[in-house]
Amino acid sequence: MTSSIDNARRTLEARASGLVFPHGFVFGAATAAYQIEGAPDADGKGESIWDRFCRVPGVIVDGSSGDVACDHYHRWKEDIAVLKALGLGAYRFSLAWTRLLPEGRGQANARGIAFYDRLIDDLLEAGIEPYATLYHWDLPQALQDRGGWYSRETAIAFADYARLAARSYGDRVKRWTTLNEPWTFCWSGHATGEDAPGLRDGVKGGVTASHHALLGHGLAVPAIRAEVADACVGIVFDLNVSEAATDDPRDVAAARRFDGAQNRWFLDAVFKGAYPQDMLALYGDLLPPIQAQDNEIIAAPVDYLGINIYRRSVIAAGDELAPLSYRRVQPEGIYSAVDYEIWPRCMYDILHYVNDRYSPPAIYISENGVATMPETVGEDGCVWDDLRAAYYVDHLEQVAKAAAEGVPVRGYFAWTLTDNFEWAYGYTTPFGITHVDFATQQRHIKYSGGVYAMIARQETAPVAKSA
């Protein structure tokens, strides 16, 4: 006799296998160096702001750090085997700046460079295309000590690091992302302080860091192209459509400000060559000095935009971060372990929002996924993460719909390949499609991984052949 759970699974799997994507659509999984690698001082690696931040008592909910994480630095072959078992054609990972340049600039570290050589070679050997991200939040502490993203010097150092990485790996890596989620690392790191370097400098901090990070991006794009003639270069933003909580004009205006801070500030700068006027006026004296040529540098043409999307934002007028002065409203609904509303339509809406207003040459969903409470492998040898499996099907349906309507979305990366260190949440809110037993470091593909693999297998095989 089949149970209702079995029936629900069969129905979900039928929906998964019925999804249709454009020819050549890329399916992958994403990770970030600090969240998986461990080995914080192996082979000459320098200290990053996340290494330092995790030592501050109370900032990580379970008091943990990425010191060991998934021990990927020693177990990358196991993780490539997981990617292969899932049938994924692409892997998005980040390079730890401090492995290549322990002090952030100056002397390069050959042993650190060699780690990614091994990873990249093994990925290619497995038929998996590497998508490298240069900055996923782990700024060298030595640069933080000189002002970090408050300093234009960091933007210049970032471009030099980008050049070194492109020179080191560009013969094999063609897909490059400069920054991952500048809104998050600039604002959570410098305005509100939940992320490294833990500064609570309000809007002035967020906007100052944002400008220098975007400048670093703009300087890095030509630096990468100079080293890798056939590079495909882009940036990843965390975007979500900002909806006003009510029709009250005060809430509508707050939602517009929030949209300006999170979405338009970054998109206008890169795709229109100027920050939005309303936000410049709002920030006023809080802006850092913006030099004459900065807009043009930041608007260096990119080949694609990566979108990380986890939720929608429902916004009302409130007290947070004056003069942004907003409040996030949590509508009734289903929420993940990190308190994000599960709202699959956010995917469709953001794809149209971006395409209608900015027409990027190509779009990738560079992250999407859901956190649960920690899971265990059951006696039947399975991790039945039904909520996550449904999340992927529900969100990929929205991607397929937007693609069928002509939005140039070329690929999708699940966040994340394996359970890992989830920043301030430590190990309490896993996002993986693969379970990791952190006591034994054993990997175990979850039910969601199996369902995602069913979807991915439809199109990745022909792409891998033609690539």
Contacts with ligand FCB, residue ranges (CB under 6 A)? 32, 35, 180-181, 184, 238, 308, 367, 415, 422-423, 431
Sign of CA dihedral 50, 51, 52, 58: positive
CB of 353 to ligand FCB, least distance (A): 18
CB of 95 to ligand FCB, least distance (A): 14
CB nearer ligand FCB, residue 37 or residue 367? 367
Tokens 């100027």 correspond to what residue? 274
CB nearer ligand FCB, residue 179 or residue 393? 179
CB of 236 to ligand FCB, least distance (A): 8
CB of 188 to ligand FCB, least distance (A): 9
Among the listed residues 37, 181, 227, 243, the single catalytic one is 181
CB of 99 to ligand FCB, least distance (A): 18
Angle at CA of residue 85, ends 79 and 88, nearest 5°: 85
422 annotated ligand binder: yes
423 annotated ligand binder: yes
Which CA distances in Å does 258 have to 5, 197, 298, 306, 369?
40, 23, 21, 20, 23
Residue 12 has phi, psi (to 5 degrees) of: -65, -45
What ranges in 150-273 are assigned the alpha helix state H? Answer: 152-169, 182-190, 202-227, 249-259, 265-271
Q: Tell me the residue number closest to ligand FCB, measured at CB.
A: 32
Among the listed residues 227, 367, 397, 459, the single catalytic one is 367
Residue 74 has phi, psi (to 5 degrees) of: -105, -15
CB of 264 to ligand FCB, least distance (A): 19
Q: What distance in Å separates the CA atoms of residue 27 and residue 1, rounded to the nearest whole number?
A: 35
CB nearer ligand FCB, residue 310 or residue 326? 310
CB nearer ligand FCB, residue 239 or residue 300? 239
149 annotated ligand binder: no
50 annotated ligand binder: no
The DSSP H or E segment spanning 279 is: helix 277-283
CB nearer ligand FCB, residue 185 or residue 353? 185
Angle at CA of residue 315, ends 312 and 321, nearest 5°: 115
CB 154 within 8 A of CB 214: no
- Find all residues with CB under 8 Å of 446, minimum gap 6, and list them: 375, 382, 383, 384, 385, 388, 389, 432, 433, 434, 435
- Find the radius of gyration of the CA atoms of the chain: 21
Annotated active-site residue 227? The verdict is no
Q: What distance in Å separates the CA atoms of residue 433 and residue 445, rounded to the nearest whole number?
A: 6
211 annotated ligand binder: no
CB nearer ligand FCB, residue 294 or residue 341? 341
Annotated active-site residue 367? The verdict is yes
Binding residues for substrate: 35, 136, 180, 310, 415, 422-423
Catalytic residues: 181, 367
Binding residues: 35, 136, 180, 310, 415, 422-423
